């Protein structure tokens, strides 16, 4: 694919109060959302590539095993996985930051699980877990802000889902980006 220049819009969204949260409808399939309490670079890399492969999630692809381990072992980092009949269907990753802030650093579904009402339910659960994160990490200051960003390269329903869950846009940036390839997909080179 030839290199091309595109403008990428990035929306920064936040919830400033726990009461900003909005629930979602029940999914069309039974789902269990569980915390991966044991840091696992293999699992996190799988989720990152399986969910983000179609949306230009490439920042972490060069990370070594040790980089993944160091990221996941930081106190308060949490990975919540949506499972349908025992199969991972999507995930939310929470990153605690100073001053009571929690960023949703990764969120999404594996492609085959879209359109079943899982995305809203998983995001609502992830936001709730961000708000009560300090209850699981006693040295952590209570959450005062939950934030996330999404961009025009992400899934077509991402921004609407965040807004439907009570996140409000607090900043927007448009920056040129050079696209040198198609998204790698869950299996780079398999397209």
Taking 80 as the threshold, does the pLDDT of residue 105 lie above it? yes
Q: In the structure, what pLDDT confidence band is assigned to residue 181 with cuts at 50, 70 and 90?
A: low
Lowest mean pLDDT among 4-13, 120-129, 172-181: 172-181
pLDDT in tens, 125-163: 999 999 999 999 989 999 999 999 999 888 888 999 999
Among positive and negative, which fits the CA dihedral 173, 63, 181, 120? negative
Contact 91, 107 (CB under 8 A): yes
- The string of DSSP codes covering 52-117 is HTTTT--TTTT--HHHHHHHHTSTT-EEEEEEETTEEEEEEEEEEETTTEEEEEEEEE-GGGTTSS
Nearest to 100 by CA among 46, 134, 153, 142: 142
Two structure tokens written together for 63: 């990370």
DSSP state of 46: H
Mean pLDDT of all residues in 102-115: 94
Domains and CATH numbers, the chain: 4-179 (3.40.630.30)
């Amino acid at each position: 694919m030839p290199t091309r220049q595109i403008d990428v819009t990035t929306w920064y969204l936040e919830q400033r109060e726990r009461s900003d949260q909005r629930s979602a409808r029940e999914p069309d399939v039974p789902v269990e959302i569980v915390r991966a309490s044991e840091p696992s670079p293999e699992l996190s890399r799988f989720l990152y590539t399986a969910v983000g492969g179609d949306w230009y999630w490439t920042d972490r692809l060069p990370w070594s095993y040790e980089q993944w381990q160091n990221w996941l072992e930081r106190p308060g980092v949490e990975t919540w996985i949506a499972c349908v009949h025992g199969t991972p269907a999507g995930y939310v990753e929470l990153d605690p930051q100073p001053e009571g802030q929690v960023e949703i650093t990764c969120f999404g579904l594996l492609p085959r699980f879209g359109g079943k009402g899982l995305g809203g339910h998983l995001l609502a659960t992830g936001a709730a877990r961000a708000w009560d994160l300090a209850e699981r990490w006693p040295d952590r200051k209570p959450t005062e802000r939950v934030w996330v960003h999404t961009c025009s390269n992400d899934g077509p329903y991402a921004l609407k889902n965040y807004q439907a869950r009570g996140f409000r846009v607090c900043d927007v940036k448009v920056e040129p980006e050079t696209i040198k390839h198609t998204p790698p997909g869950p299996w780079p080179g398999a397209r």
